[in-house]
Amino acid sequence: MIRGRTRMALSVGAMLYRSSLSGPVRLMATDTQSVAAKLNSSGLLRSQALIGGKWVDSYDGKTIKVHNPATGEVITNVPCMGGRETNDAISSAYGAFSSWSKLTAAERSKLLRKWYDLIMAHKEELGQLMTLEQGKPLKEAIGEVSYGAGFIEFSAEEGKRIYGDIIPSPLADRRLFVLKQPVGVVGAITPWNFPLAMITRKVGPALACGCTVVIKPSELTPLTALAAAELSLQAGIPPGVVNVVMGNAPDIGDALLASPQVRKITFTGSTKVGKKLMEGAAATVKKVSLELGGNAPCIIFDDADIEVAVKGALATKFRNTGQTCVCANRILVQEGIYEKFANAFAKAVQGMKVGDGFTEGVEQGPLINEAAVQKVESFVEEATSKGAKVLIGGKRHSLGMTFYEPTIVTGVNSEMLLAREEVFGPVAPLLKFKTDEEAIHMANDTNAGLAAYIFSTNIKRAWRVTEALEYGIVGVNEGLVSTEVAPFGGVKQSGLGREGSKYGMDEYLEMKYVCLGSMN
């Protein structure tokens, strides 16, 4: 029953995302430059920033190379910008805010819907661009395009349902109202692991509410953001409503924080950077929403359906090569089925195909860069030095570059880095527990609180453990939990606020109380 209800609750966007992992798609097997040339001819390979509706270079001419992590080849150069360009982008967004916020919700909805339609019409090209700069398998990349576009579609619809309120007045000659109005200019800082979805999840609701945005994508994956911005212009979204700058992250961040014209910061990334942004936003008392790091436990109880648990753990651990904030960072297995699960899980992981994302059948691509590989290596080495055992994998892949073998490590305990910090790579540490209470304690013994997963066929146990877990998201017999119609976000040091769903709209709105007195 639990499994059925969970699956039925998934949105169209989530189903599109899932079907893309196994459904038919036109795959390419070619080199970086030929893919780039094809994308360039389509007009989607942009290599300049967008400020006030114009494509511009950095003012001092500095650039950054964007690499294909699977091959190391340079795709193109993009501007390396700083404070001056960011301040101009802020001014552009501030200038556009007055007219954009005055449009009716229905008018904004029509433009967002056109943007959604264009993204879906170009989902294969956007998927190819994402695989080129980020490395994820093409099927997975195209799945992200559908998933990311879902936030635009949902926001276009939900923006027409931003309601105020009427409060019964204690005085007969007064009327009390609550209005919801756009917060203003939004600074959106996004990561490299989901180059489209992390942008649309912020920009969709921001624009639907009447805000304008300055987007700062990761320097590692700016091209998908620029392509999405190009499509926003083609959709008729006015110049200045969407701006994109990239380059020197500290300088750009400082400009966004210092400007009194920027009224909100929304950020997805590390807890360390999130804390700095939160501190910096205090000077101008900006509204802040943060989706930060996780340390997701995946709890496999002894009454779990092993087949379902293996499938779910595989999906939540190895999607995007383990490079997601909601990846299962720790797999807690009850001692009665520990060996059985470990063997079944190892068999499934051994069957995964690793390679360039454009190659047919590939399920795992490269890590984003050399630093990411070195982090994974150090975590595995630290665990094995303290007694953990590598069941499968545990080293760089024979493909070279930043490819790393899908890995399972057994005998992990709570003192090891693999259990205490995000590995952000294709390494699944298995920890053993005895009782429900021990599993809950192990799961909650962290500063993070983003996502958690439970596998059990006992509905009483599932509800009891779900309520005891200190996490903003809990998947029960399900490894893929993200959808535009549900609130995404964490507790504790995993962040503030929610993205997606009707709750995510409130992050871009201010509440105004109006007291209307007697007119006589």
Compute the average pLDDT of residues 398-407: 97
Whole-number mean pLDDT of the chain?
A: 93
Q: What is the mean pLDDT of residues 38-50?
A: 91
d(CA 145, CA 501): 18
Contact 352, 315 (CB under 8 A): no
pLDDT of residue 288: 98
| pLDDT score, position 519 | 65
Residue whose token pair is 């995000």 = 422
Candidates 291, 363, 499, 507; catalytic one: 291
Query: Looking at the structure, do residues 122 and 215 belong to the same domain, yes or no?
Result: yes
Please say if the pLDDT value at position 10 is more than 50. no
Instruction: Give the pLDDT mean for 22-33.
Output: 48
Average pLDDT of the segment spanning 285-301: 97
Based on the structure, what is the number of domains in the chain?
2
Query: What would the pLDDT profile of 360-392 be if each residue is shown by its tens digit?
Result: 999 999 999 999 999 999 999 999 999 999 999
State yes or no: is 230 an active-site residue: no
- Read off the pLDDT band of 40 (50, 70, 90): confident
Question: Does 518 reside within a domain?
Answer: no
Please say if the pLDDT value at position 29 is more than 50: no
pLDDT value of position 470: 98
- Assess whether 332 and 396 both reside in one domain: yes
Domain holding 394: CATH number?
Answer: 3.40.309.10
Inside any domain, residue 179: yes
Q: Tell whether 466 and 392 lie within a shared domain.
A: yes
Same domain membership, residue 322 and residue 273:
no
91 & 161 share domain: yes
Q: Mean pLDDT across the stretch 336-351?
A: 97
Among candidate residues 292, 320, 351, the one where a domain is terminated? 292
pLDDT tens, 228-280?
999 999 999 999 999 999 999 999 999 999 999 999 999 999 999 999 999 99
What is the distance, to the nearest Å, from the Cα of residue 18 to the centroid of all Cα atoms in its chain? Answer: 16
pLDDT of 520 strictly over 70: no
Distances (CA, A) of 511 to 155, 175, 204, 508: 19, 17, 20, 10
Domain boundary among 251, 277, 292: 292
**Average pLDDT for 29-42:** 78
| pLDDT of res. 19 | 38
Please name which of 412, 181, 190, 419 lies closest in space to residue 297, comparing C-alpha atoms.
Answer: 419
Is 510 within a domain? no
> What's the pLDDT tens digit per position in 177-200?
999 999 999 999 999 999 999 999
Q: Do residues 88 and 236 share a domain? A: yes
- Structural domain including 446 reads 296-484
Q: Is the pLDDT of residue 25 over 70?
A: no
Same domain, 328 and 261: no
Residue 224 lies in a domain: yes
Is the pLDDT at 403 greater than 50? The verdict is: yes
- For residues 454 and 477, give the distance between their C-alpha atoms in angstroms, rounded to a whole number: 6
User: Would 133 be classed as within a structural domain?
Assistant: yes
Q: Which residue has the tokens 């001014």?
A: 91
In a domain, 513, yes or no: no
Let me know if residue 82 belongs to a domain.
yes
Question: Could you report the per-residue pLDDT of 386-401, keeping only the tens digit for each?
Answer: 999 999 999 999 999 9
In this structure, is residue 429 part of a structural domain? yes
Inform me whether the pLDDT recorded for 6 exceeds 90: no
Helix (H) or strand (E) holding 327: none
Per-residue pLDDT for 104 more than 70?
A: yes
Reported as a single tens digit per residue, the pLDDT across 107-155 is 999 999 999 999 999 999 999 999 999 999 999 999 999 999 999 999 9
Q: What percent of the chain has pLDDT over 70?
A: 94
> pLDDT value at position 97?
98
Same domain, 247 and 360: no
CATH number reported for the structural domain that contains residue 77 in this entry: 3.40.605.10
Q: CB under 8 Å to 61, separation ≥6 — which residues?
A: none
Same domain, 109 and 173: yes
| 254 and 313 both lie in a single domain | no
Same domain assignment for residues 274 and 384: no
Which domain-ending residue is among 237, 262, 292? Answer: 292
Query: Do 103 and 77 belong to one domain?
Result: yes
